Amino acid sequence: MGAILDYLLTLAFAAVVVLVPAAGVWVASSLAVYQGGPTWLAVVSGALLFPVLPLLWERWAEARRRRKAVEGKRLLGFGGRLVARTLALNVLFLALLLGLYPAASFAALSARGDWFLEGRTGDLAVVARAVLFRTAGALEGLYRTVRKNRFEEAIAEGAVRPAGEAKPEPLPVEPAPSASTPTTPAPGTGGASGSAGLVRGAVVPGGAPLWPLPDRLHPLAVEIPAAEETSPAAVARWIAARERDPWQRVKALHDWVADRIAYDADSYFSRDLPPQDADTVFRRRTAVCAGYANLLAAMGAAAGEEIVVVPGDARNDGADLTGEGHAWSAARIGGRWTLLDATWDAGYLKDRRFVKRYRTSYLFVPPAVIGVTHFPEEPSWQLRDPLLTRGEFFRQPVLKAGFFAEGLSLVTPSRSQVTVEGELPVELLNPRGRFLLADFVAEEGDAKGDCEVSNGAEPRVGCRFPAPGSYRVRLFVGPELYGHYDGVGELLVVNRGG
C-alpha cells in the first residue's frame, strides 16, 4: 500500500512539474494571439523558464556555495533542485500574468485558448477544446472580480430582481428558409413552428407579435398630447387606459422611451454620469443605458406591467469582444418573460455623437438573438436552455439583431476572432436575397479597405489585408444594391501574412 501511495504521489508531482510550465506558456501564448502579438515570444518565454533560467539559477547557486566554502550534503540532488527551481519560476510567472492581466487572461483563454488547434475538427481536437475551455472557465471568478459594470450604481434601487419564475421560453420569430443549419442563432431559433407565411409584426397564437416587428412607432406614443407628458406615471397611465393588449401596451411604453429619450453621449464618454433615476431622465430627456432601463421599469409599474432592469455586458460596434457594462430590460407578459433594449432601439453613436434612429430590433427579441450581443450578470435572464457560459458568449461572432432579422446566417468563420494568412474568407446564407457590403479597418494605424463581395443566396466575402496586424471586418446589409446599408456585425481578425 505504501509503495502504491508513493507511486501516486510521484506521478502527481511529475504532472505538476509538467502542467505548471505548460499553463504558463498556454496563458502567455493565448494572450499574444488574442492581442495580435507574436506567439514566438511566448515560446521563447517558455524556453527561458525551462530549462534556461533554472539552469542559470543552479549555476549561480553552485558558484555562490563555492565562494562561501559551504560544506555538507545537499537536501536535494541536481534533478530535484532543477525541478524545484523550475516550479518556483513558473509559478511566479503564471501568478504575474494572472495578477497583471486578470481580465485579459480570462478573455484570451476563453476566446483563443485553442489557437494551436485552429482548423482542426477531429474527435481529439473537439475533446481537447472542451478541456481547454472548461479550464479557462475556472478563471471567470477572477474576471468578475476586476470587471465591474460602471452603470450598476446608476440602476434604480429595486429595479433589478432575480429571474425567479423566468423560463427559457423564446418568442416565435419570422421563419427564414435555409438549406442548411447555420452556425449562429438564426431567426428560426425562437421556435416559429406553424408560423410560415406570417409577416413582420403579425400576431401568433398566445398574442405575441412576431419578431422582428415593423420599425413603426405605436400610435399612442405619437398621439399623446404634450399636456399629458407631465411625469413617467402620467404617460404610462395615459397609454394603459387606451391600449388593452398587454404586448402592444409594453411596445407603446418601449416606443415612447426609445423615441423621446436621447442617448447622453457626453456623459458616456466623460464617464461622469448625472442621476439616472426615472424622474430625472424624464425631465432631462437624456440618459445612458441605466436611465433608459430605469424609466421603462418605472413606466411599466405605473401601467400595471412587470418590467425589470437586467444588468450585464453588451458588445457593440468597435468594442472588445468581451463587451462593456450595460443595462436592458425584461418584461413579463401573459405569464412569460421577454427581453427588450430601448437604448439600442433609440439610435446609435457616431463620431462621439448620438444619432437618433428608432428601431424595433431589440423589442421582444428572441433569447438566442440577443444572447449574441448581451450577457446578463444573472444567468437566468438569458431565458434559454441550456445557458451560455461567458466563454461561449465571447466566442460567438459579434452579430447584431439586424443580421438575423434579415434572415442571414454566418457559415464561416464561426468564431469572434480568427487568425489568417493574408486573407479572410467569409461564407453566409442569404435566403432573402439581401445585398451585402464589407470593409476592414486596422485596430492600429489608418489602414482600411473594401472587401470583395459576391452577392446571392450564398454570398462570399473576401478581405485581403495589406500588412500583418489586427483588423476589424465590418458587415453591412441593405434591401437594394444602391441605397442605404446597415451595419450588422463585426469580425476580429489577426493577420499573420504580408
> Is residue 396 assigned to a domain?
no
Could you read off the pLDDT of 453-472 as tens digits, one per residue? Answer: 999 999 999 999 999 999 99
Q: Are 252 and 358 found together in one domain? A: yes
Position 140 in a domain = yes
326 & 216 share domain = yes
Number of structural domains, the chain? 3
Measured CA to CA, the distance from residue 188 to residue 178 in angstroms comes to 10
Instruction: Kindly state the average pLDDT of the residues 293-317.
Output: 96
Between 62 and 476, the higher pLDDT residue: 476
**Residue 194 within any structural domain of the chain:** no
Q: What is the pLDDT of residues 348-386, one digit of tens each?
A: 999 999 999 999 999 999 999 999 999 999 999 999 999
Report the SS3 class of residue 24.
Answer: helix
Q: What is the pLDDT of residue 463?
A: 98
H/E stretch holding 220 reads helix 219-223
Range with the lowest mean pLDDT among 162-176, 266-280, 403-417, 466-480?
A: 162-176
Alpha-carbon distances of 229 from 174, 256, 372, rounded to whole Å:
35, 11, 36
* DSSP assignment string, 134-197: HHHHTTHHHHHHH---TTGGGSPTTS----TT----PPPB-----SS--SS--GGGGT-TT-TT
Looking at residue 452, its amino acid is E
In-domain check, residue 185: no
Return the number of other C-beta atoms located less than 10 Å from residue 171's C-beta: 25
82 has a pLDDT exceeding 90: no
358 and 442, same domain (yes or no): no
128 and 232 housed in the same domain: no
- C-alpha separations of 414 from 227, 392, 417, 491 in Å: 52, 11, 9, 10
Q: CATH number, domain at 275? A: 3.10.620
Q: What local confidence, expressed as pLDDT, does residue 73 receive?
A: 78
Residues 413 and 374 in one domain: no
Query: Within this chain, do residues 485 and 383 fall inside the same structural domain, yes or no?
Result: no
- What is the per-residue pLDDT across 234-266, written as a single tens digit (0 to 9) for each? 999 999 999 999 999 999 999 999 999 999 999
C-alpha–C-alpha distance, residues 191 and 185, integer Å: 11
Q: Are residues 250 and 365 in the same domain?
A: yes
Q: Are residues 368 and 224 in the same domain?
A: yes
CA gyration radius, the chain: 27
Closest CA to 407 of 381, 431, 371: 431
For 187-225, how does the pLDDT look when each residue is reduced to its tens digit (9 = 90+)? 333 333 233 334 566 665 567 899 999 999 999 999 999
Determine the pLDDT at residue 10.
66
- Cβ partners under 8 Å of residue 183, min gap 6: 409, 410, 411, 412, 414
427, 473: one domain:
yes
Res 175: pLDDT: 42
Number of helices (H), then strands (E), in the chain: 17, 19
Nearest to 495 by CA among 474, 472, 473, 465: 465
* 102-135 pLDDT tens trace: 999 999 999 999 999 998 999 999 999 999 999 9
- The tens digit of pLDDT for each residue in 28-54 reads 999 999 999 888 888 788 888 888 999
Q: Are residues 65 and 141 in the same domain?
A: yes
Rounded-to-integer distance, Cα 276 and Cα 155, Å: 7
If you average pLDDT over residues 7-18, what whole number do you get?
A: 72
Contact between 383 and 168 under an 8 Å Cβ cutoff? The reply is yes
Residue 470's alpha-carbon distances to 31, 107, 125, 362, 411, in angstroms, are: 14, 16, 26, 30, 22
> Do 238 and 369 belong to one domain?
yes
Q: What is the mean pLDDT of the chain?
A: 89
Cell of 224: 399623446
Q: What percent of the chain has pLDDT above 70?
A: 89
Distance CA 461, CA 258 (A): 34
CATH number at residue 455: 2.60.40.1220
Rounded CA gap, 351 and 173, in Å? 34
Residue 203 lies in a domain: no
pLDDT at 180: 35
Give the C-alpha separation, 400 to 374, whole Å.
10
- Does residue 9 lie within any of the structural domains? yes
Q: 83 pLDDT exceeds 90?
A: no
Q: How many CA atoms lie within 13 A of 1 on its CB side?
A: 0
Q: By residue range, what is the domain housing residue 79?
A: 1-145
Are 371 and 240 in a shared domain? yes
- Residue 173 falls within a domain, yes or no? no
On whether residue 195 sits in a domain, the answer given is no
